Amino acid sequence: GENVEQHPSTLSVQEGDSAVIKCTYSDSASNYFPWYKQELGKGPQLIIDIRSNVGEKKDQRIAVTLNKTAKHFSLHITETQPEDSAVYFCAANGGTYKYIFGTGTRLKVLA
Amino acid sequence: NAGVTQTPKFQVLKTGQSMTLQCAQDMNHEYMSWYRQDPGMGLRLIHYSVGAGITDQGEVPNGYNVSRSTTEDFPLRLLSAAPSQTSVYFCASSPVGTSGGEQYFGPGTRLTVT
């Protein structure tokens, strides 16, 4: 089955700097890679996703890159703001509906 | 639209008790799923369903049962609660697509088993 590893587990950046979170997956059948943001006491919320036929996707300050050969994908947040502080999760679908999530990254944006 | 709703928000059970966590969605989504979230372990899939009458196991199905009699509802049953089932439980729904899609998560149920 699919296995997803996520690094780092915690990340602190100064406001205005960039943040990068990396994930690797094991199942080459995975074709959908979402990123979720979870604020304290709430359920996760999708912030960006990418499909296997695309190498990069951008939405304002957020971008995701996918390297299928190396089986890794990354989340990039530019010009970080205090409201970006949260826990971020990556996931892969193993080509099915059995989504496997990474263990999460706690991002702290320091003012 | 209310989106995905979960009840109760909090629950304390004694070891061996049974209970049902409720999940409902009003978006007519075919796909529904249950996850548990434990510190340092991310979200782990318990069971999922791609439509009424169809369910399948996720990563950690032992100790949990599900059924899907309607599109809207996807209850999770704990048959005999154990302290290892202390966790935060999230329900999610998504339109069924050929290669995955956004999952909409509920607010969660915090369960403590003593």
**What are A20-42's pLDDT values in tens digits?**
999 999 999 999 999 999 999 99
Reported confidence tier of residue B100, pLDDT bands at 50, 70, 90: confident
Q: Which helix (H) or strand (E) holds B56?
A: strand B54-57
Determine the distance in angstroms separating the CA of A53 from the nearest CA of chain B, rounded to an integer.
11
Contact A99 B33 (CB under 8 A): yes
Lowest mean pLDDT among B4-8, B13-17, B49-53, B64-68: B49-53
Residue numbers in A near B101 (CB within 8 A): 32
Contact A97 B44 (CB under 8 A): no
Residue that is written with structure tokens 């050929």 in the block: B98
Reported confidence tier of residue A2, pLDDT bands at 50, 70, 90: confident
pLDDT of A95 reads 78
pLDDT of B99 reads 58
Transcribe A4-45 into DSSP letters: EEEE-SEEEEETTS-EEEEEEE--TT--EEEEEEE-TTS--E
Q: How far apart are CA A11 and CA B43, in angstroms?
A: 19
| Partner B contacted by A106 (CB < 8 A) | no
How many CA within 13 A on the CB side of residue B77?
Answer: 7
CB A71 within 8 A of CB A26: yes
- Most confident region among A94-103, B79-88, B100-109 by mean pLDDT: B79-88
Reported confidence tier of residue A94, pLDDT bands at 50, 70, 90: confident
Residue that is written with structure tokens 């796909």 in the block: B31
pLDDT of A62 reads 98
pLDDT above 90 coverage of chain A, percent: 89
| Partner B contacted by A44 (CB < 8 A) | yes
Q: Give yes or no for a cis peptide into B8 (omega within 30° of 0).
A: yes
Q: Please tell me which of the candidates B33, B40, B58 has its beta carbon nearest to residue A103.
A: B40
pLDDT of B97 reads 65
- pLDDT exceeds cutoff 60 at B98: no
- pLDDT exceeds cutoff 70 at A18: yes
Q: How far apart are CA B111 and CA B73, in angstroms?
A: 20
pLDDT of A30 reads 92
Q: Give yes or no for a cis peptide into A8 (omega within 30° of 0).
A: yes
Describe the strand order of the beta sheet including B76-78 as a list of residue ranges: B4-7, B19-25, B76-78, B64-66
What secondary structure letter does DSSP report for A84?
G
